[in-house]
Each structure stands twice: as C-alpha cells, then as structure tokens.
Structure 1
C-alpha cells in the first residue's frame, strides 16, 4: 500500500506546524505529513498530496491558486479554497441570522478610498456623504468597526461616538468595513473547530486576548447550544478548520466572529492544554480525510469534468 501524504502550507507560526507533523508521523498510520514546497505550478499539474492544510493562503495569493488546482486533481483541502475565497463577514451575518442563530446587527459600508484609476464617475451608484446618524441608529453605540474580509483582530475599532466612528473609518483606506452592534457580554467563548463538528468551546478574555482553562464555565444547556450553533455555522460555510466567538448577553450566545479559516493555534495563545487537543484533533481529521475524503469537489459545478 502506497503512503499517503499530508501537506502543510504555513506562515511564520512556529508551534503548531512541527507538532502536527510529528503527531501524524508518529502514528504509523500509512500517512506522512510534511511542509509543501512550491516553485511554480503548471496547469493541471498532478498533486501528490491526499490532504492539504492551508494556514496562510489568505496572505499569499499564489498558495490559494495552487490549492484550487490541487483540489481539481483530487486533493482534500482544509479549508476548501473556493469557499474561503467567497466568504465575507457581512454575508455571514446575514446568513446565520436567516438560520436563526443570534448575530449582532451589522451594516456594510462603502470603502473610504479607492485604488488608482477609480474616478468619481465610477462611483455614481453611491450616496455621499454617508448618513452616519442613520447608520448608528441601526447598530447603536458603542459599535465595532472591522474589515469585512479580515481576521486576527486587525483593523478592528471600538467606537462610542459618531466622531470616533468617522475618525476610525477615515483610517481604513481601501478596506471594505462593516459596523457591528457591540454586545455587552457577561461571558465570552471562543470555539476551536476541527472537521466542522469537533468543537472545543473555551473561556476567552477578549480584553487581554487570552484563553482560560476552566472546564465548567458554561451550563450544560448553554454549552450544548453553543456547540450546536458552531457546528451549523461550520457546515453551512464548509469550514473544516475555524474559530468562532460568542458573546453571551442575558443568556443568549451571539456569534460575533465566525469566519476564521486559519485560526490561532499557537501554544502560547491557546495554552498547552488546548494546543494538545488541537494538534491531535487535526491529526485525527487529516488522516481520516486521507483515507475517506468527503465529497468536497461535488460542491463545485466543475466536478463533472473530474474523473
């Protein structure tokens, strides 16, 4: 029986990649994990990997393009590059609200600035100036201004007045931003998600950005609801690797950030306890997908051209 390969695409993170590779390679499961090395990809180039784990293509567009071809060749990609390319936080908020999952009131805003070559005639469909009074009447204040496509706490502003909102908005350049109702929470949970349905809900302190190892932080009923919401969000978005944040107000868990397809898995962030869980859970899932992949390509209309 030939050895199946799992390839890892990573950035500067230093703890998860080697731990994952060591975990997979120590199991003697007929599977070997390694870092992917690329130097240009031919069209329809065969892919040697049964599974590819993507933790960096949001920053390196070439990797995203490579993964799409690899998926065409039969590789199982974590996460599906076609899903990831299409997501944004505004659509996600609309979608999960349609699903009956609580989400803060969210509004998407026109960009503050535009690339060179975009002139005023190109923007004839936009109302200007923005009606800031109407905008904050919908979301309320304080509110959170953040990148509709980004993650990792980058380009995130908490604003308490219209003046603060305008100042923050003026700093966002060509980013497409959303403004979101701020949930005054009593509890905060960040879930690490593997394989869509394997959910670890962790107590999280957003002010100090730290995970807290405390296993009884949720009642059984609330814990079950959060896990159910997280599974449904992953399944509708097709994410096999994700983190989802819930802000709990008056016993209601609001999904405030749930599109993080390359979630933080650093040992210093998630603590050694949850790091060990994440490494083993990802190894379990990747090995399973190497032998029994889900019909990932069938979600794409070009699947009929693949044998």
Structure 2
C-alpha cells in the first residue's frame, strides 16, 4: 500500500505541483502526494498522511489547529506546528545572538496606540512603562539611523519600513495602524487587509540598518544548504521580486563556508527542516537578518529555473526520507531549541 504525503497550500501552484510529480517519479508510486482537504473535523481524527507539508497555516490559522491535532495523532507535520506557533522575530534574534551569530542591534517597542485596542484601557497597561523623551533618545542612539521598523511576526515585507530619521520613525510608528493615512500599497483592499493583519500583531522591532557590500540568501533543505547571491527589489521603484544569481565565487570560499556554517547552526538549533536565511555582509562579517521563513518561496517565477529545479529536488528527497525512514526526521534529532528557550547553554 502506497504511503502518502498531504500538502496544505494557498495560491501557489508551481512548487506543489512540481513537488508531487518529482516525489511520485522518484518513488515509482511508492509515495503519493495529495492536496489535503480540511473541513469540520472531530476530535482524535487520524489522518491518512504519513507526512504533511504545510504551506499556508501562517495565513489561515484554522489549519494550524488541525495540524497540531494531526501531529498528536501520528502524522509528521513540516514545519513543526507547535514550534511555529511559538516563534517570532524577537525570540529568533535572541536565540541566534546566543548562538554567537552576528545580528543587527534590535529593540522591541511598546505598542503604539495600545489603548485603541478592543477592551484595553489605561488600567490594563499598568505594567507598561511610559517611555520618556530621554528613553527614546537612548533607543535612537543605540540603533542609529537609518533603521528598519518591522512587525515582530509575519513576513512578505508587510509593514516593513526603512526610517531615515526620528521624524520618519514617529510618522510610521504612530500612523502605521490606527490613523487614516494609506500605507502606500497598491489598492484600498490590500491596504485594508494589511491593517487588519497589523491589528493582530502590533508589536514592532526597531533594527539597525547594515550598509552591506554583499547579500546572501540561503536555503536549508533537510540538512543541505544552497546559497544564492541576492539582489533585493527596489521597492521604491515598484519592484516586488528580487534577483537570485548562482555565483559562488562572489562570496569567496572562506566567507561562503562561514555563511553556510551559520545556516546549519541556526536551523539545527531552532529545529527547522525547510527554511531560508538571509545575511548582509559588511567588511566580511555576515549578519543574519532574517531566518524564520519555513514556508520559503520556491516558485520558479521568483527564484529562477536554476534554483527552483535544485531546491524542489532537495525538498522531494527529504520528504521521501521522512516517509520511508522515520529516523531521518530532523525534528526529533536534537533538543537545542528547548535548551535555548529555557536559558540553558546550547
């Protein structure tokens, strides 16, 4: 009887369709890939999938509830839905900094407009310190300008803003959610959707801007690493996608080994099996700036044919191993994440 992989996906077609074809071709039908169908589900439902690949629960939380139950009932879910629910950018930067990987200076900020949240009054916030002008000045001196103002959770560049001065910071920090000014998105519908999304998160980070000479985007795929030279999009000019280039000599052997060593350390420690990590390189020092992308973009239209072919092939190989050999499942291999989040020395 064939084993099965279930895929939960959103709007993407290219990656999941290619993945299904490759898995079934490599296994000659021993492993089948299906689109998982979720409805109103009873307690203790045991799904028919040996492995479930989640590509959408970050956007549709109902799936996350189902996936946690599926994991309890015996399906191996990638990424780990329990850990994914616990992760955020602040926690990630804290843990990666503890691992000794260079990261930008970062401060988490109190919520702007807190009292405008539902059923929150000044009395609800008695533990929240009022930040004086002197406090804010110390924050600005520590981070410096330009800086990045970004949500503490989420992705896709939603509400990520480069602020070049105190005035730009205050404008964005105070107006991003609660005021009437448009966020500069393409349509009113998109603007409204982002505001609703922000109303769920609301916690922001202010982070040092790294004036880099090189930009690396690395895939971690079931224990293997691939690195691309990345040219980010010019969002001021309306570009939405960056450019991925296969150019190993661009980084040099020593720097590339250091970057890819950090990629392995981060993912093995945080427990991710499929992920991307971004580094800005300044004066040959790679700074990790983004590493919580366990539903990373693997579409050929985004990353190009060279990387799409190779990354999808590696994902297929890892999923096949997870189905046919449970000992190959990386989630169960180490407890570093547990040690890190409980303050133990990794």
TM-score (norm 1): 0.93
Separation in 2, partners of 1:171, 1:244:
30
Change (3 A) 1:214 1:295: closer
Aligned pair count reads 299
Query: Where in structure 2 are the equivalents of 1:212-227 lying within 5 Å?
Result: 212-227=245-260
Q: 1:189 aligns with which of 206, 211, 216?
A: 216
Identify the residue that residue 76 of structure 2 maps to in structure 1.
76
Q: Quote the residue 1:107 is aligned against.
A: 107
What do the CA deviations read for 1:16-55 (whole angstroms, capped 9, x no partner)? 1111111112221510011111112211110111111111
Matched residue, 1:261: 294
Check conservation: 2:273, 2:330, Cα contact below 8 A: no
Matches of 1:259 and 1:126, distance apart in 2: 28
Question: Aligned residue for 2:141?
Answer: 137
Deviation, 1:128, is 2.5
Give the Å deviation of 1:213.
2.8
**Counterparts of 2:112 and 2:43, CA distance in 1:** 38
Q: Which of 307, 311, 331 is the equivalent residue of 1:278? A: 311
Secondary structure of the 1:52 match is strand
Select which of 114, 120, 123 maps to 2:122: 120
Distance 2:19 2:150 in 1: 31
User: Which structure would you say has the larger RCO, counting Cα contacts within 8 Å and 6 or more residues apart?
Assistant: 1
User: Alignment partner for residue 287 of structure 1, among 316, 320, 324?
Assistant: 320
Distance 1:129 1:205 in 2: 38
Which residue number corresponds to residue 192 of structure 2?
A: none
1:202 to 221, 228, 231: 228
Give the number of the structure whose residues are more often helix, by fraction: 2
Deviations 1:213-233 (A, max 9, x none): 323222111111111101111
**Structure 2 counterpart of 1:168, from 167, 172, 189:** 172
2:182 matched to which residue of 1? none
State the 1:129 CA deviation. 4.3
Tell me how far apart the structure 2 counterparts of residues 116 and 249 of structure 1 sit (CA, whole Å).
43
Shift of 1:74: 1.6
The runs of at least 4 aligned residues of structure 1 exceeding 6 Å deviation read 297-301
Structure 1: give runs of 5+ residues left out of the alignment. Answer: 302-307
Instruction: Return the offset for 1:152.
Output: 1.5
Unaligned runs of 5+ in 2: 178-198, 235-241, 339-346
SS in structure 2 of the partner of residue 170 of structure 1: helix
Query: What corresponds to 1:44 in structure 2?
Result: 44
CA distance in 1 between counterparts of 2:111 and 2:54 reads 29
8 Å Cα contact 2:50/2:75 also seen in 1? yes
SS at the partner of 1:26? helix
How far is the alpha carbon of 1:113 from its aligned partner?
3.1
Q: CA contact under 8 A between 1:267 and 1:275: conserved in structure 2? A: yes
The secondary structure found in structure 1 opposite 2:249 is coil
SS at match of 2:172: helix
Classify the secondary structure of the residue corresponding to 1:107: strand
- 1:54 equivalenced with 2:54 (yes/no): yes
Once the two structures are TM-superposed, the CA of residue 88 in structure 1 deviates from its matched residue by 1.0
Contact 1:88 1:149 in 2 (8 A): yes
Q: SS at 2:313's partner residue?
A: helix
Deviations 1:92-119 (A, max 9, x none): 1111111111000111111113431111
